[in-house]
Amino acid sequence: MIPLFLILKLYKQHSIICYIWIKLINNLKSNLVMVKAKYQSVLDLGQKLNIQDGDVSEENGTLKIKGVANTQYEKNLLWDEIKEIGGDNPSDIMADIKVADTSLYHKHTVKGGESLSKIAKHYYGDPMKYTAIFEANKNILKNPDVIHPDQELIIPNL
């Protein structure tokens, strides 16, 4: 028969181990909640952009996200948001974002009042790159000065 003092000693050690495990699990959950909250705007943007095959997990205090953006432009938007929050080299997030269509930079639906130079400035930061957009859309554009609302333009990779 096992002496009572030994049973109590083992029980006490067991309950301490259980307590430590519970604290560890709660800390891990807390870390995930904190890191997810910090990068919530990235997750929201991913939803807005309809990122496919998205997955979010946490490992050792690092938020891991992955998914497939439709275009390179959308991938860049996600990275810009990550860097806005975590700086140029964030250590608390790892993102594996693939691009579904690498044949173009983005597709743009023309809105009233836009011009090719305004669109080029938006995507490339340089209004003079409007010629690249015009060349990529010669099948629907005859004149670089004439575009119409609701036309869908290819924004080419440069």
Q: Do both 124 and 142 map to the same domain? A: yes
- Say yes or no to pLDDT of 23 above 90: no
Sign of CA dihedral 40, 46, 48, 54: negative
Give the domain range for residue 88: 4-99
More confident residue, 103 or 61: 103
Q: Do both 94 and 16 map to the same domain? A: yes
Whole-number pLDDT of residue 3 = 58
Q: Do both 120 and 92 map to the same domain? A: no
pLDDT band at 88 (very low <50, low <70, confident <90, very high): confident
The predicted-structure confidence for 109-148, as pLDDT tens digits, reads as follows 999 999 999 999 999 999 999 999 999 999 999 999 999 9
Question: What φ, ψ does residue 109 adopt, rounded to 5°?
Answer: -95, 120
With contact defined as beta carbons under 8 Å apart, do 90 and 82 qualify?
Answer: yes
Whether this prediction's pTM lies above 0.75 is answered by yes
Specify the number of domains making up the chain: 2
Q: Do both 128 and 94 map to the same domain? A: no
pLDDT band at 60 (very low <50, low <70, confident <90, very high): confident
